[in-house]
Amino acid sequence: MRCNNCGWENPDGSQKCEKCNAPLQGGVVSNPQVDYGHSTIREDFPFSKPQIPKTVFEGTINENPEVPQQPQPAPQPAQQAASANYTGTMNPWGGIGGGYTPLSHCSLKPVIFPGEDMRDVPKEVNLKGNYTELNRQLLDPDNNTITSNVQAILTCKDGKWYIQDQSAQKTTFVYAGEPIPLKTGDVILMGNRTFVFEEK
């Protein structure tokens, strides 16, 4: 009795193939026990090699089997969005490491005084980061009305910018060109007189 799976001729009355152990009455077995260490092959393919199942993976197929090739991982969305704003350590296999926070950008453009020589106007200051200490060297190196230590701190939190005075003379003010929120304790300079705001 010929085996439908491997083609081996078995004695009449056999229930299983002597070579591949496949049932002789049930047809081809989906997962027969195959031992590639022996030379048993199907009779209908006498000159072919046993077909070893290919490993399925995501990536390119290595055309040269003698040179091992690792599958290339697909780029992670987080890596594509990181760009140059990320200053931490990036994991090339799993995206960005923990604690990623995109850096914010802003600029401080000096206002030109009437009659001021353009050569004396300081350059526009472009800032990158969520925390910056503002001082004379950064803003206007020749302006002695700005402290050389820390005049003010500029921070960005949840997409909103905040400035806080740090100067000894309390000389950081914001021009109220548009309505700005006030809270109890805020100091307002109007003319040369300061007022403390208190909510009643």
- Using the 3D structure, point to which of 58, 76, 94 is the last residue of a domain: 58
Q: Do residues 188 and 121 share a domain? A: yes
Structural domain range at position 6: 1-58
Q: Do residues 116 and 38 share a domain? A: no
- pLDDT > 70? residue 186: yes
- pLDDT > 80? residue 158: yes
Of the candidates 135, 139, 138, 134, the residue with the CA atom closest to the CA atom of residue 148: 135
Tell me what percent of the chain is helix, strand and coil, each rounded to the nearest 5: 10, 20, 70
Q: Do residues 39 and 116 share a domain? A: no
Check: CB of residue 122 under 8 Å from CB of residue 140. yes
Per-residue pLDDT reduced to its tens digit, 78-130 = 555 544 555 555 555 555 555 566 789 999 999 998 999 999 999 999 999 99
Tell which wins on pLDDT, 140 or 102.
140
Q: Do residues 51 and 115 share a domain? A: no
Read off the CATH number of the domain in which 182 is found.
Answer: 2.60.200
Where does the pLDDT of residue 26 fall: very low under 50, low under 70, confident under 90, or very high at 90 and above? low
Tell which wins on pLDDT, 136 or 6.
136
- Number of folded domains that form the chain: 2
Q: Do residues 54 and 110 share a domain? A: no
Q: What is the largest CA-CA distance in the chain?
A: 116
Neighbours of 134 (CB within 10 A): 22
Check: CB of residue 33 under 8 Å from CB of residue 25. no
Which residue type does 142 have? D
Q: Do residues 47 and 122 share a domain? A: no
Per-residue pLDDT, 13 = 82
